[in-house]
Amino acid sequence: MASLAGPWAPASGQDLAKADEAVVSEAELQRAIDSLHSDRFSEREAGYRQLVQAGATSLELLARECNGEDPEIRTRCLEAICEVARKEESVQAAMAVLERLASDPSLPINDLARQRFDRLTMTDEERAVEALKAAGVRLHLDRQGHVLSVSISRDRDVDHLRHLPQLRMVQLSGNGITDDCMQSISELTSLSSLSLSRTTVSDIGFSRLAGIASLSSLIVRQESLAVADVKQIQRIPGLRNLSLADSVGDAHLECLADAKQLASLSLSDYRLTPESPKTFAKLQQLRTLRFTLSNATDRQLGLLAKIEVPIDITLMSGDLIGESGWRCLPQANLKSLTLMRCQLKDSDLVHVGNIKALQSLRIYGAPITDEGLPHLKGLDELQTLTFYDTQVTEEGLEALKPEFPKLRYSRLQNRRAVAVPAKPRG
């Protein structure tokens, strides 16, 4: 147990008299002590309140009763000392008495006094961590015990976050998160990353985020994201990375035109239309545009060439993509390409190999083989390469890797066989 003998050194009798204005006579204090033995609750409570109000004047009498035979009286007197310790004018004297009781193992009240002493000497951060753990909140702490990130699903737990000075990341999820907690979120001056998933936060709540100068990353996964919500999001002064996992349209994205600091935009549910290039033309501040196309068509891939912003794209279940669609890819400003469960043939890799600025290539669940790999040799900017559940072999990948001067990471994993279409007979 840490000693607080310096700050909580026992006060002199003269100091005790000055410590609290509610000074009462010793006889009155004794009557208050006696009332704690009363059979009537109202009398016991009145006596307890009088002892607490007396402040430092009652401390020695309370300490003496903490050594009495009645365990209930001992506990009530100890709690009274703790209440006195919470009063600014009597904290030093009360903590000195409490430490004395907590330091003497011969006293019957010793264990409980030590618990109360440790509790009162905790920092605000330690109390917040204790409360959040008790509420079942997931915490990530550094080696010094400071909380770096939390995951919360109830408004009432958010208020504890103001006592976490090192907090950088907050994840809010579920319909127990409402606009009511967003004011507390706005007061987290060190917060850099915030995630909201399936909450009931509205544009009113999002408007509070404009007060967080440190917030640079925001992830939003709502059931329905309104245009009014995005209008408030774009007001966040330091926002550089925004991920919208909801269905959004051009009206949502046009609200971001004034977010000049925004560098990266990720869209998980966006339908590419002929109007999309015009919309993205208004977002010239972006350095990276990430989005996913499910069941993409040749026509949609043709639209990519009209988007000037650097693109990080994922194509999922691309059974509708034909030769003309793959041929469009080199015309787009692609930095990263992920192909998931697309019917990509070895011959289609010719077009992938012509995306000269491509830095990352990931192919999942496609029936390609080692025979198509030589088509990728022109990717001089490639830094990461992944094949997952394809017919590519370790030998094929190792033979290909020297062709990429900037390659830093490669991976091959085949957990299931992928059927390779039979070659037509001559």
The three state secondary structure string of the chain is CCCCCCCCCCCCHHHHHHHCCCCCCHHHHHHHHHHCCCCCHHHHHHHHHHHHHCHHHHHHHHHHHCCCCCHHHHHHHHHHHHHHHCCHHHHHHHHHHHHHHHHCCCCCCHHHHHHHHHHHCCCHHHHHHHHHHHCCCEEEECCCCCEEEEEECCHHHHHHHHHCCCCCEEEEECCCCCHHHHHHHHCCCCCCEEEEECCCCCHHHHHHHHHCCCCCEEEEECCCCCHHHHHHHCCCCCCCEEEEEEEECHHHHHHHHHCCCCCEEEEEEECCCCCHHHHHHCCCCCCEEEEEEECCCHHHHHHHCCCCCCEEEEEECCCCCCHHHHHHHHHCCEEEEEEECCCCCHHHHHHHCCCCCCCEEEEECCCCCHHHHHHHCCCCCCCEEEEECCCCCHHHHHHHHHHCCCCCEEEEECCCCCCCCCCCCC
Angle between helices 91-103 and 110-120 (to 10 degrees): 140
Strand 169-173 with 147-152, pairing: parallel
What is residue 184's predicted lDDT score, i.e. its pLDDT? 96
Other beta carbons within 10 angstroms of residue 57's beta carbon come to 25
What is residue 149's predicted lDDT score, i.e. its pLDDT? 97
Low-confidence ranges of the chain (pLDDT < 70): 1-23, 416-426
What is residue 25's predicted lDDT score, i.e. its pLDDT? 86
Q: Is 171 in contact with 148 (CB distance < 8 Å)? A: no
d(CA 334, CA 343): 20
State the burial class of residue 102 (Cβ atoms within 10 Å of its Cβ: 0-12, 13-18, 19+). buried
Tokens (6 digits) for 355: 């995306």
What is residue 50's predicted lDDT score, i.e. its pLDDT? 94
Name which of 227, 179, 169 is nearest 206 in CA terms.
179
All residues at 6 or more sequence positions from 190 whose CB lies less than 8 Å from its CB, including other chains: 165, 166, 167, 168, 214
Q: Is 386 in contact with 363 (CB distance < 8 Å)? A: yes
All residues at 6 or more sequence positions from 235 whose CB lies less than 8 Å from its CB, including other chains: 207, 209, 210
d(CA 267, CA 309): 14
Query: pTM, whole model, 2 decimals?
Result: 0.75
Residue % of the chain over a pLDDT of 90: 79
Name which of 265, 151, 249 is nearest 198 in CA terms.
151
What is residue 421's predicted lDDT score, i.e. its pLDDT? 52
